[in-house]
Chains A and B, each alone.
Chain A
């Protein structure tokens, strides 16, 4: 089995245009795939073996035949989950969500102010932050507004492409707070960004002394501008908005600040709307099958169902896969190492006989939480919740082999 997506050059077009083109090419691509499985004599070009290729360069680029693209909207751009095969998101494909555009910050002029309920209000330079003992951690970062229910012609990227995974490097926030002498009576801190929204969130001090970090490296390299260059807060397992980017100020206090992003936004109306859940930081367990998925057209035979699972509460302990719309489930294989609060790759071999099918995945985490159906989620929360939607999603396979998003399962 091979993948047609890497084999046609789709050029520098937008995600939406590319989607259409992919759909058009999907039929022909199956034949290309078959050709690679059983190569015909003379099929392989000799053009690369009869002349030298390019020499070493300073910064490599993807093959001209490969062009994964984020899908940008006015407020975010979404990771192409269907084009990725591991768990680490290339830095230039990490999703973006920001509220006042991406600032250009000169690292020589960058400063982080830590003040409020501390013994020693202090300004740290980027070099200061990098001088502290460093920690690296692989974890996912997911926007809490990460579900589009869409139409049957919806890519994994569009369903939930506002999640990405990185090896972050930086200093533990607890180390910085010890340096400034944090007052033990402080219960919350404000994190503030240096963007045009001067974005702020209030964070419980419990998280500061648990696993919060100030990070300055993304997959070993400097942060990308859209992900907070030169330094951002990182709160593993929590909704992405709380990991404030372009971090310029931390203020310790004995109460939450009730900023716009934690009152009018990123809150969850429950039931009939009479109550609103606030400070809902943790991302619940979730999974999605990234292959096969729209716009692929598959042939009868053996297929490996592949996807990602993650939980903001710890490790994923299992992923079940169904090929009959949830009537029966099989246990998928998890690719180790299975890290806490991290994307894990799951795979499951499936023999498709050509009959209509519906494939879906269901994640379980170490707390015993099982990823719910859309109906169970709606029953628990009512119809008004906008954030933290993590329902089981599916892909239908027609008798023609066309794979479509199971949009019908997510109807209101």
Chain B
């Protein structure tokens, strides 16, 4: 998997003892069972392996129309930045960072646009519109071909240029400044 080798090697909580306060009953009987429907309604996150991506698709050409209408006013019509951050650029040294030189996972684009963009009307884009915007941004950054179709199958397979730069936090306290 995309993330498994790197992240699961860390000895986190799996298998550790999980004791509650000694006087706690097995259950407090609080809360109610969540229905499948309400979980589905809220569970909008998209993981690096594509889990959570919905049906739908889009190309850069589809995305260009949505970009002009909903995004370009803040991020620049070519994604060069404006009142909001640029999204296009491959030079690793350019600041502020962009999707092309800094974002490690393509799936994050779908997740974030779908949940939080556009800023004045978040959560209003249809799945096809989000896929189109993701395709437009990735194509603008020359990460995918202009005609590539982005959907639940293709998006998780996109290899991001900055992916290999990301490392775990190695600060541990103690006298050494890191």
Contact = CB atoms under 8 A, between A and B. Distances in A.
A and B from one assembly? yes
Interface of A: 99-100, 113-115, 120-125, 128, 131-133, 174-175, 177-180, 182, 184-188, 190, 192, 196-200, 204-206, 208-209, 248-249, 251, 253-260, 263-264, 267, 270, 273-282, 284, 313-314, 365, 367-370, 372, 376-377, 380-381
Given A122-B34, A274-B165, A368-B174, A264 B103 contact: yes
Contacts of B115: 197-198, 200
Given A198-B44, A284-B171, 11 more contacts: A100-B119, A115-B43, A179-B27, A184-B14, A197-B116, A198-B116, A255-B47, A260-B116, A275-B166, A277-B169, A278-B166
A177 to B, nearest CB: 8
Contacts of B46: 257
B113 to A, nearest CB: 9
Contacts of A248: 42
B37 to A, nearest CB: 12
A379 to B, nearest CB: 8
27 contacts: A114-B34, A115-B39, A123-B33, A132-B30, A133-B21, A178-B24, A179-B31, A184-B13, A185-B14, A185-B15, A187-B7, A187-B13, A205-B13, A206-B16, A255-B49, A256-B7, A258-B104, A259-B108, A274-B92, A277-B170, A280-B169, A282-B169, A313-B173, A314-B173, A369-B173, A369-B177, A376-B177
Chain B interface, >50% SS class: loop
A136 to B, nearest CB: 15
Interface in B127-173: 162, 165-173
B67 interface: no
Contact of B1 (A123, A124, A255): A255
A267 B30 CA distance: 37
Nearest to B11: A206
B20 A264 contact: no
B154 to A, nearest CB: 18
